[in-house]
Structure 1
Amino acid sequence: MRLPDSFLDEIRARLSLSQVVGRRVTWDLRKSNQAKGDWWAPCPFHQEKSPSFHVDDQKGFFYCFGCGAKGNLFGFVQQQENVGFMEAVELLAREAGMEMPRRDPREAQAADRRTQLAELCEEALRFFRTQLKTGAAAEARDYLRGRSLSPDTLDRFEIGFAPNRRMALRDHLMQRGVAPNLIEAAGLATPASEGDPRDRFINRITFPIRDGRGRCIGFGGRAMNPDAKAKYLNSPETELFDKGANLYNLARARSAAGKGQTVVVAEGYMDVIALAQAGFEAAVAPLGTAVTDRQLRLLWRVSPEPVVALDGDAAGQRAGLRLADLALPMIAAGQSLRFAILPEGQDPDDLIRAGGPEAMRAVLEGAVPMSALLWRRATEGKVLDSPERRAAFDAELRALVRRIEDPNVRRHYGEAFARQRADLFGPEMRQEAPRAFAGDRPFRPRGSGRPGGGRGGGAWQPPALATVAARGSALAQGAADPDRVLEQVALAGLVLHPALLEDFAEALERGHWAGEGHGRIAQALLAVDPVDDPAEARAALERAGCGPALEALLALAHVRVSPAARPGAGDADAAACVRDAFARLEARRGVARETLEAIEDFEDGGDEAIVWRLGQALRRRDEATRAPRDEETGGDDAAGMSEFLQGLLDAKVWEKQKRK
């Protein structure tokens, strides 16, 4: 949803930057000039004693002369709380006493309903907190003391107690005028359809669950009765609570991760609380189930490489491998998991109580990459003493590597497994190791020749090796130039026709940008709502700090004459142009990756098969850049767009730019 500028301006009017920053820093009043709105303090983003952090209230900007952090009111909250722009706006709007704009009546009604349920959960939280102080909760308090939880920790995590009465909470809420159906909708009581109405949590220690925005959306409960059917019980799925899309302690962990702490994924509530009490505040846990793909994406928004703390027993190992299998197709450059394996029979709480925070820190620092966990599973208990067993082992590794969707990461996994395989099988295999599992192509010993032998009559003769290597080297060095031209045309088309942003969001997200500033423009475009007015989109990009790069992009001669930039060009014309540019980029880069792999194999002492593959890759490169895109968009207009882009590449406009 696009927020009106007037709404953002009203937030700025109600909250000064120094007011928001002042809650996080101690101002140096000797250096500050309050009358002019000129404030100085030690930086909240890095450790320092001198006041190098400057806030200019009149301009609404901050800058640290030590670490270089800079931004406006919303940027400060984004960096301090480690949240996105919309979440930062929501936090500031709440502080300013303003309601977020709503899109339509149905959405407003649904939002009102969720707000009601969240307020009801907050009332239940207050009830549980009060009950923990009563005589009926003596056993619960003894249990919490036995787990070494301090009063400050109990308050910080808002731990409470649900009395051992069937309708204690329900009666409390109904006395305050809450309708029974609303209590059931919040997951606080069982529906009447399930039998006699009763509270969801009875005789349990309660742990409130808050979402990333800080709203109470549900509860977890630890049974005090040792004969209870479930030791831990969570709120059921509700309009507010989706356990597969939330994490326990997410809001606090995100804030701690923004200050440099390692994100630790533990098994349950008590582990998270023990970790946080010991200083590991960026700890989270799934909500009673195994980690889901949605929770993984949520984790990666907080940290690129969270550490999963595994119990040292067999069940913990199996849980880690299930998570690794789930994550494998989703990993990417700078987006993975590490695994910290605890001593057998201990969870994080046990380890901290036995050895203190230092013992836990040592385990976290010794965390291994995901590839190590998968390799251990692939080799553990296997006897590879025959060609057949080794062949089956190779097939298992290749199947594992093929599950990785990111081609670059897939290749690195293949190379890592190949080196480990060579060490496992002995010195006679080491010469074959470097790329045995890189990508999807089969492993072939040196000297195997062209696949398929000499079919077609006569022995196959390789092209001149020097010629092939020279052509490949030129391709590898110059590939970025035509790629940059295609990127410029695609990005300019989306800037000038922002209504197309939703259609090309996936292409922007997965793009590997060669041009300087192109990646920043692409990221800024992803944050722009699809609009019909290009001026709005350009204003949003300028607010994101892309003004100079955008001005340079739109000033390029080949961009100005592109079909998307011509006077009167419609969205359909621009869509065809942008689509063709992205398709050509994808084709060029796919072939370039294969070519570079072939070149590297050749440099390692390539045989006829490698040289043949290199020649085939170069041929497909030429075909890919000249392939018509009519089938994707249809009609003569699409062909015209394709001819325009091919004309740019044939004219080598990038070489002309270099000579200016």
Structure 2
Amino acid sequence: MSLPDGFLDELRTRLSIAQVVGRKVTWDTRKSNVGKGDYWSPCPFHQEKTASFHVDDRKGFFYCFGCHAKGDALTFVRETENVGFMEAVEILAGEAGMPVPKRDPVAQKKADQRTVLAEIMEQALQFYRMQLKTNVATAARDYLDGRGMPQVIQDRFEIGFAPDTRSALFQHLTGKGIKPEDLDEAGLCVKPDDGGSPFDRFRGRIIFPIRDARGRCIAFGGRAMDPNARAKYLNSPETPLFDKGRSLYNHGPAREAAGKAQSLIVAEGYMDVIALAQAGFDHAVAPLGTAITENQLQLMWRMSPEPIIALDGDTAGIRAARRLIDLALPLMEAGKSLRFVVLPEGQDPDDLLKASGAKAMQDLLDAAQPMVRLLWEREIEGKVFDSPERRASLDASLRTALSAIKDPSLRNHYTAAIKELRAELFAPKHGTSTQQNAPWSGGWRNKPPQNATSGLKSSLLGQKTATDTTRLREALILAAAIRNPHAAVEHETMLEKSPIAAPDLIKIQSALLALLHMDLSEDQGSGPLIAALTDRLGFNPMDHLMTLPPVRIHPHLHPDADPELVAMTLREELVKHAAIKGAEAELRDAEEEVEGLADEGLTWRIQQASEARANATKADIKSGGDGSEDRENLSLNLQKMIDDQIWVKKKG
């Protein structure tokens, strides 16, 4: 059976050979580099103990350095399953979700026709290349010189020129015996609806040949020399050779260069790719006049696990990047993602390279942002989150976006990263309390004038918790949460809402919440979490928290402490902190309502709030010895006070 031209290429593109081979072998994790698509294992074709069997997932081939077996995914299935070629095709097509074409007696004829069209495209390219050297292309050569494109680059990218006449190419190729209908099928000429003579599709344009991954010329792109042309850039139409949604400009050369550079740049157009190559960035491709498609994205991931999307620094470029997020999220998996570079406003890669050089471009590429950052900025840009409703709306939109990620592990990591960014956005600013930072807490109201109640205010409202005591309580909460991650997960909501004032402790709180759901077994303790926090923060959080002597000597916070006692300490400190902060908020609110002589109801509220705060601070946080039952009873009583909100004015 003759398969349609391109079917096997599409099959290989959709499948990862590492996944196909991985069903039969066990990868050597020490020798393999998954991020680079580099896999090693003992060979499945001969008995051995060493990992001499190599799979290059990017190129789609395997090779054994012991028995010298080699091939692609089809070869591997044929050899390991002991099946024929077509059976192997059917097996892999089923995995890729591709229907195998039915037996078609004219399939070979169609394949032969594609071969004919490819030969015609090569002859057309030769014609365009020759025309660039003639007098009719003087303006085109001047333009290329003005863009700083030397002859060596023009030759490398096979730049040509289509003369501004109606049928120069048509007459040239038909004069060589090529059928007019073949020129039409190749997309080189246009046949008028009125039955007139066919005319050239490209006229008065600089020509950029588009080759597929195998190096065949499958289409052309043309840039108009006339500034008044209806389209500045024009691509070949869809043909039996050319599917623009499955093609990339500079695909073949970039694939080879990406392996060496361990990177892939995705620019917007031909001139961007050429300018990058001229500056030494050979690993660049571009979509062909449309937004990036799912098929193009899969092609990019075959070349690099984390392509860098480099877009022009204008509104259209940023909008295109954000649209790409929605396309990529459902397709991502471990080891496959995107990074983004948005160039300075009003510049494309060519502009930047001419103005600032290759180093400036490399600096931007090195600073490329992960996709999660672009997703976050898309959701918060231009918005003000000054109410619970607006924050809830943000949470809802983020949940919707993240739900598109199919890989559970990857979705968890995205959720953790978003949680950290959210914590940073809503963290209290330096020198302000959580209530002051929240516009709905009452901090924006005008303060009442001084009046006869100033004595009451100074005696009751003036009883502020000392800063050092607050910091100590916050440090105890964080230390206990880090020592017992499982207890921290149980109290995650309270931990997240717990108002932390000190900037250095806010940083630890944000990192802890972001890493709280990392995989931990019961017997691992807090070691892996502390290591992950240290890596994220740049310092050991426990060492930082232990600088406070009461934390350092606390009997329930040392590494060998009973997890139950650590959990009890965390629960107690969280409840006390919530009670104190709740009472302080009520005191501030009551202070603002004092507008004359204190009435009986207001005085009662202040007394109740003060009592709640006093009860919350009765426990000696400097000790953690016996009396755990009393401490537990105190925590339960405090929690009841919080639940009942005894200090809040009841509406009659």
Contact 2:162 2:203 in 1 (8 A): yes
Say whether 1:189 aligns with 2:176. no
The whole-number CA distance in structure 2 between the counterparts of 1:603 and 1:274 is: 63
After TM superposition, give the deviation of residue 260 of structure 1 in Å. 2.6
The question of 1:85 aligning with 2:68 is answered no
Q: Provide the secondary structure at the position in 2 that maps to 1:340.
A: strand
Is the CA contact 1:311–1:341 (under 8 Å) kept in the aligned structure 2? yes
- 1:104, 1:75 → 2: CA distance? 30
For residues 218 and 319 of structure 1, the distance between their equivalents in structure 2, rounded to whole angstroms, comes to 24
CA deviation map 1:227-256 (0-9, x unaligned): 110000000001110000000000000010
CA drift at 1:404:
1.1
* 1:324 counterpart SS class: helix
Distance change (3 Å), C-alpha of 1:193 and 1:377 = same
What is the letter of the counterpart of residue 142 of structure 1?
D
Q: For the residues of structure 1 that align with 2:243 and 2:571, how far apart are their CA atoms?
A: 54
Q: Would the alpha carbon gap of residues 219 and 86 (structure 1) be closer, same or farther in structure 2, given more than 3 Å must change?
A: farther
Shift of 1:107: 2.8
CA contact (8 A) 1:220 1:234 kept: yes
Q: Distance in 2 between matches of 1:301 and 1:415?
A: 27
**Deviation beyond 4 Å, 4+ runs, structure 1:** 67-72, 74-79, 86-89, 101-105, 427-434, 472-477, 602-607
Cα separation, partners in 2 of 1:254 and 1:391, compared to 1, 3 Å: same
1:260 is matched with 261
> What is the aligned partner in structure 2 of residue 115 from structure 1?
115
Q: Deviations over 1:611-658 (max 9, x none)?
A: xxxxxxxxxxxxxxxxxxxxxxxxxxxxxxxxxxxxxxxxxxxxxxxx
Counterpart residue identity of residue 176, structure 1? K
CA distance in 2, matches of 1:158, 1:416: 45
Q: Secondary structure at the match of 1:343?
A: strand
Whether contact under 8 Å (2:214, 2:252) holds in the other structure is yes
Matches of 2:399 and 2:59, distance apart in 1 = 44
Q: Which of the residues 439, 445, 455 maps onto 2:493?
A: 445
Gap change, CA 1:85 and 1:138, over 3 Å in 2: farther
Residue 446 of structure 1 deviates from its aligned partner by: 3.6
- Equivalent residue runs for 1:632-647 within 5 Å: none
Structure 1 residue 123 displacement after superposition: 0.5
Tell me the distance in 2 between the aligned counterparts of 1:84 and 1:2.
21
The DSSP-based 3-state class of the residue aligned with 1:193 is coil
Give the share of equivalent positions with the same residue, in percent: 55
5 Å matches for 1:263-412?
Answer: 263-412=264-413
Take 1:337 and 1:606, find their aligned partners in 2: how far apart are those partners? 41
- Provide closer, same or farther for how the CA distance between residues 425 and 164 of structure 1 changes in structure 2, counting only shifts above 3 A: same
Map residues 48-197 of structure 1 onto 2, 5 A cutoff.
85=72, 105-193=105-193, 196=196, 197=198
Q: 1:121 to 1:359 in 2, by over 3 A?
A: same
> Does the 8 A contact of 1:261 with 1:281 survive in 2?
no
Q: CA deviation at 1:70?
A: 7.0
Given that residues 266 and 285 in structure 2 are in contact (C-alpha distance below 8 angstroms), is that contact kept between their aligned partners in structure 1? yes
For residues 393 and 172 of structure 2, the distance between their equivalents in structure 1, rounded to whole angstroms, comes to: 64
- CA distance in 2 between counterparts of 1:399 and 1:247 reads 31
Aligned equivalent of 2:83:
none
SS in structure 1 opposite 2:136? helix
- The TM-score, its normalising length taken from structure 1, stands at 0.52
| CA-CA distance at 1:194 after TM superposition | 6.5
Deviation at 1:259, TM superposition (A): 1.5
In 2, the alpha carbon distance for the partners of 1:148 and 1:311 equals 19
Distance 1:375 1:143 in 2: 41
CA 1:75–1:267: 2 relative to 1, 3 Å: closer
Match of 1:464? Answer: none
**Letter of the aligned partner of 1:141 in structure 2?**
R
Q: Structure 2 vs 1, CA of residues 239 and 218 (structure 1 numbering), >3 Å: closer, same or farther?
A: same
2:261–2:283: 8 Å Cα contact kept in structure 1? Answer: no
8 Å CA contact 2:2, 2:108 repeated in 1:
no
Structural mapping, 1:5-20, within 5 Å:
none
Counterparts of 1:603 and 1:132, CA distance in 2: 81
User: 1:142 aligns to what SS in structure 2?
Assistant: helix
Distance in 2, Cα, partners of 1:474 & 1:291: 45
Compared CA separation, residues 300 and 308, structure 1 to 2 (3 A): same
Q: CA deviation at 1:282?
A: 0.8
Q: For residues 43-67 of structure 1, give each alpha carbon's deviation from its aligned partner in whole angstroms, at most 9, with x where no partner exists.
A: xxxxxxxxxxxxxxxxxxxxxxxx9
Does structure 2 retain, via aligned residues, the 8 Å contact 1:262–1:306? yes
Question: In the alignment, which residue of structure 2 is the partner of 1:229?
Answer: 230
Unaligned runs of 5+ in 2: 4-50, 64-69, 77-88, 90-100, 429-433, 439-473, 483-488, 497-519, 526-566, 573-652
Q: After alignment, is 187-196 or 245-254 more displaced? A: 187-196
Q: Quickly say closer, same or farther: Cα 1:317–1:447, change in 2 above 3 A.
A: closer
CA distance in structure 2 between the aligned counterparts of 1:68 and 1:346, rounded to whole angstroms: 48
Structure 1 segment 423-434 matched on structure 2, within 5 A:
423-427=424-428
The number of equivalent residue pairs is 375
Larger radius of gyration: 2
Q: Contact (CA 8 Å) 1:118, 1:217: kept in 2 or not?
A: yes
Distance in 1, Cα, partners of 2:568 & 2:134: 76
Aligned equivalents of 2:571, 2:160: Cα separation in 1: 68
The one-letter code sitting in structure 1 at the alignment partner of 2:493 is P
Q: 1:87 to 1:237 in 2, by over 3 A?
A: farther
TM-score in terms of structure 2 length: 0.53
Letter in structure 1 aligned against 2:129: R
Q: What is the alpha-carbon distance in structure 2 between the residues aligned to residue 214 and residue 237 of structure 1?
A: 18
**In the alignment, residue 387 of structure 1 is paired with which amino acid?**
P
Measure the CA separation in 2 of the matches of 1:346 and 1:399: 33
Contact 1:166 1:202 in 2 (8 A): yes
- Tell me if structure 2 keeps the 8 A contact 1:248–1:287: yes
Partners of 1:220 and 1:235 within 8 A in 2:
yes
Name the aligned partner's letter for residue 393 of structure 2. Answer: A
Aligned residues of 2:54 and 2:62 also touching (Cα < 8 A)? no
Match of 2:214 in 1: 213
Residue pair 2:340, 2:369 contacting (<8 A) in 1 also: yes
Instruction: Supply the distance in 1 between the matched residues of 2:571 and 2:401 (Cα, whole angstroms).
Output: 26
CA 237–604 in structure 1, closer or farther in 2 if over 3 Å, else same: farther
Q: Is the 8 A contact 1:128 1:206 kept in 2?
A: yes
Structure 1 CA distance for aligned equivalents of residues 402 and 132 of structure 2: 52
Q: Quick check: 2:60–2:73 contact (8 Å CA) kept in 1?
A: no
Task: Tell me if the contact between 2:245 and 2:293 (Cα under 8 Å) persists in the aligned partners.
Answer: yes
C-alpha contact 2:189 2:200 (8 A) present in aligned 1: yes
Mapped to 2, the partners of 1:225 and 1:202 lie a distance apart of 10
Rate the CA distance shift 1:312–1:604 in 2: closer, same or farther, 3 A: farther
The residue identity in structure 1 corresponding to 2:176 is R
Q: After superposition, what is the alpha-carbon deviation per residue over 1:69-107, rounded to whole angstroms, capped at 9, x for unaligned?
A: 9799x999989xxx9938999xxxxxxxxxxx9997433
1-side partners of 2:161 and 2:569: how far apart? 67
State the secondary structure of the residue aligned to 1:342: strand
Contact persistence 1:87–1:213 (CA under 8 A): no
